[in-house]
Structure 1
């Protein structure tokens, strides 16, 4: 479930595309190179991922993600871009595993809803998926830019083109909204849904029986062109959660947060700016948060001469501020925001005309008269009249279709799933949920927020499903040879 880069990459591998070590490849990590040489004739999914991952370090806590990233981008974290990938891809149709990818919109997931003109945090090359270099695609599409970073519009277009080019479209059902997912042991024939009958008849061409369809029931609807809803009901042996984390904005949980002038979406603010709703406004916009989305809001307001009050809990010298982790040369716009945060902070006399930061402050409440109450770390309260409030403090995945919204799947069972504080607990080498057999998760749901690392999840899941399918076929063959019906 989810047709963003996680779902697309997994579909690519489940469709039979296999990574092999290039014939003349030499990985800069000599120990890893030695391990790869031991089984050069085998594809990577056929090898022991735990053995290959051992001893590797990277920016993901998931070892297979680090392994696959270093195979695709050797020494990337050391700033070297002259090491080519050591992998080559081959399409082996006999390894196709029947699957469906459900998504609310076209392939690309949340990338289709992002502001088109912004630049991605990652380099363009790190946004690419296996088998199609982003640079090659941009050249073919006449992109005229000297910046190594891409816009979300370019990335979304790349993902849609990728699905078509790789022949994955048959696996994708767009405009699909999942409303219910649960374990069930009913026979598929008990469902009267036409959509189920159609899907099962197609999948039956790849399987001799429907035993594998008894584990999960997925209900939802497809939104037709005229806006009507067409319900569907599917059965599957395995469910993979690839929904990302952009579904539910994080909230402050303070009084007045549901008032009309309080928003939790940068897109909503940008739309209001484009409509001229802040033209001639003297009251500032309140922006809450110290992440990149909040910084984008500051940049948007600043470029339209809209005064800003910027509130965040962290200290200005906090080493965990995202701005301290970004090279100035690659991310000049974010460092401009950080410079303003440091040099135009709230003083004892007055606030700055166009921008004032309030480090180590929090919002106590929003009032109906368009006033907000702030409180400093020392307990001092301040009241400001504002024109709009933007709460941009992150987001959480919306897993409402699972029992208890999937809380039981996390490392902390009583808390909501969150990519940073409480990701889905998985087997690190299969990405299967530790607390729910035949349920897998990848991407931000397991803490891999960067696209370069989610590909490892697709590799681990593909290997796991292939091994199980192989074992099942061997058991069936053995039973058949022994005359067992």
Structure 2
């Protein structure tokens, strides 16, 4: 697109001083074109209103790698131990004639160690990547078979394309993980590169083992087609509301029925039971936790215990349409709509027996200070780059400001250095004591760019383009660009800022859940859910919430942030769902999204 006019108004009518030449439709059409037709990114035309209703056993919210892996298992793919593994103790525990989904996870994972807190993640990783942590390369100890007759009906819903947040990362960004640690089963990243005839960059040793984020995003998107999973995926869908429905077998007049008056919010007690402020008994067993919910049999009355109920879920959402101006649309759309999209009249409703949260940590954490919502302050790396370009063209005074000592903050600093932009870097940590920062742990031989940032932060190297502000916190932003920072000794300093980026981490956006459910999901229910300090409180061997029946959490929501360790929670989830459906005599129904199904078993 052409550059915006000098008065700050772009061709699409967005009155923003930071609207850049890249503010175009996500689907490729320019802002002046008619959008009352089918967009390549949407499932339905915008000129007609469509309402889609689906009834499945499992609804998955989020379409990143953890959701893709779960879909693979729910589609009838079973994994078996090959009989070969360098760990003799584990080798003797495992059976080769029974699917891993039917074996004892606590027994198998006992004694395993690694860089994940989830024992099932460690189990799957040691079988999928044997001895990876000590630099050895072994073939996977897993073989796969597909039995479509055992498939469980499910739908995977995502705001964007399959691959999740990978599509929002700068395509040229190199991954931290080794390429092989990004693999999904049966069709590796290297297989995909061969099919796409992609070669590593010449004279770039990093590209031989680190992948470009854009390639990874495309690999995950292509994977669902290669593995025939695409019929279970619906993209460009924003889930707006989720309700838990209790199908009560007892009426209020039935013997033993004890009505509970909503709202009811459970709280933990020191005896690991649950105290209820609305029951005369005061204490009920944790296995009998209930929430205020809508009863299908008697409106306004909730069931006494989950033992007597079969809770189900109802999801409501809308299809997304591309906007004609990203910034204007972001102001009009709901906070959960991705930048560049807004809700369309087309709606979707999904009824399911189980719900799986695989939506990751998509909400940037905020400082909560005055001026944080001013136009020159952003929480997005891509937006930060765009605003710097606009600021440079306009000759706006002041340096860039990056807040945060994590990897995203380091990426923002590197962008400034590579483009001759002076950057002030504020972080509250005392680096002489901050041993838990990932930047300090990266091997220098493999991550040269991040080692450069770390040395600048520590003062081991200097640059006229970089000023470290160790032990400082931002207090406020002003409309004229003035930024006030305070040190640990409460000394204030003022800086002139052209563009500021807040990169202090991410947290879950679970605004679609009822308050009485979202407020009890975390290990510490009083705090927001993030992947570092407060993940969803799940049973590690089932991935099911400890407090909400029939609700599961995968990936970063369960505490695993690297792709390599995402799959354990999906494996535990698939095993739990499979066992639960069998016990309740809910035979998996054929998905309304699948085209055909056979009873053939395929060895892969």
TM-score per shorter chain, which class? Answer: 0.7 to 0.9
User: Is the CA contact (8 Å cut-off) linking 1:262 and 1:388 kept in structure 2?
Assistant: yes
2:379 equivalent in structure 1 = 264
- Deviation at 1:49? 0.9
| 1:5-29: CA deviation from partner (whole Å, max 9, x where unpaired) | 111110011001111112xx42111
- Deviation at 1:272? 2.7
User: Is the CA contact (8 Å cut-off) linking 1:102 and 1:176 kept in structure 2?
Assistant: yes
1:372 equivalent in structure 2 = 483
1:162 paired with 2:162, answer no
1:181 paired with 2:238, answer no
1:417 paired with 2:473, answer no
2:266 equivalent in structure 1 = none
C-alpha distance in 1 between matches for 2:388 and 2:144: 46
1:459 paired with 2:571, answer yes
User: Is the CA contact (8 Å cut-off) linking 2:159 and 2:238 kept in structure 1?
Assistant: yes
SS in 2 for 1:164: helix
Question: Paired residues, what number?
Answer: 441
C-alpha distance in 2 between matches for 1:413 and 1:345: 43
- Deviation at 1:280? 5.3
1:482 equivalent in structure 2 = none
2:69 equivalent in structure 1 = 9
C-alpha distance in 1 between matches for 2:345 and 2:176: 36
1:402 paired with 2:513, answer yes
Q: How does 1:103-252 map to 2 (within 5 A)?
A: 103-145=158-200, 146=205, 147=207, 148-185=209-246, 215-223=312-320, 228-246=344-362, 248-252=363-367
- Deviation at 1:420? 1.3
TM-score (norm 2): 0.70
- Deviation at 1:469? 2.3
Q: 1:67 aligns with which of 105, 119, 123?
A: 123
1:190 equivalent in structure 2 = none
C-alpha distance in 2 between matches for 1:366 and 1:344: 30
- Deviation at 1:475? 11
C-alpha distance in 2 between matches for 1:437 and 1:383: 51
Q: Which runs of 4+ in 1 moved over 6 A?
A: none
RMSD over equivalenced CA pairs, Å: 2.2
1:335 paired with 2:451, answer yes
User: Is the CA contact (8 Å cut-off) linking 2:388 and 2:499 kept in structure 1?
Assistant: no
SS in 2 for 1:90: strand
Return 5+ residue gaps in structure 2 as ranges: 1-60, 249-308, 324-341, 589-604
User: Is the CA contact (8 Å cut-off) linking 1:63 and 1:428 kept in structure 2?
Assistant: yes
C-alpha distance in 2 between matches for 1:259 and 1:273: 15
Q: 1:355 aligns with which of 466, 475, 489?
A: 466
User: Is the CA contact (8 Å cut-off) linking 2:247 and 2:310 kept in structure 1?
Assistant: no
C-alpha distance in 2 between matches for 1:345 and 1:379: 27
Return 5+ residue gaps in structure 1 as ranges: 188-211, 347-351, 477-485
SS in 1 for 2:585: helix
2:370 equivalent in structure 1 = 255
1:436 paired with 2:548, answer yes
- Deviation at 1:470? 2.4
C-alpha distance in 2 between matches for 1:475 and 1:337: 55
Of 267-276 and 289-298, deviating more is 267-276
TM-score (norm 1): 0.87
- Deviation at 1:316? 2.1
2:328 equivalent in structure 1 = none
| 1:460-483: CA deviation from partner (whole Å, max 9, x where unpaired) | 11111111222233999xxxxxxx
- Deviation at 1:288? 0.2
Q: 1:34 aligns with which of 88, 92, 96?
A: 92
| 1:324-371: CA deviation from partner (whole Å, max 9, x where unpaired) | 22111221111111111122799xxxxx63110011111111122211
C-alpha distance in 2 between matches for 1:214 and 1:425: 19
C-alpha distance in 1 between matches for 2:570 and 2:440: 31
C-alpha distance in 1 between matches for 2:480 and 2:355: 48
Tell me: CA distance 1:401–1:475, structure 2 relative to 1, closer, same or farther (3 Å).
closer
User: Is the CA contact (8 Å cut-off) linking 1:213 and 1:236 kept in structure 2?
Assistant: no
Q: 2:437 aligns with which of 318, 321, 327?
A: 321
The structure richer in helix per residue is 1
C-alpha distance in 2 between matches for 1:445 and 1:430: 14
The structure richer in strand per residue is 2
Of 56-65 and 396-405, deviating more is 396-405
Q: How does 1:272-291 map to 2 (within 5 A)?
A: 272-275=387-390, 277=392, 283-291=398-406
C-alpha distance in 2 between matches for 1:294 and 1:56: 33
User: Is the CA contact (8 Å cut-off) linking 2:401 and 2:425 kept in structure 1?
Assistant: yes
C-alpha distance in 2 between matches for 1:450 and 1:365: 34
1:200 equivalent in structure 2 = none
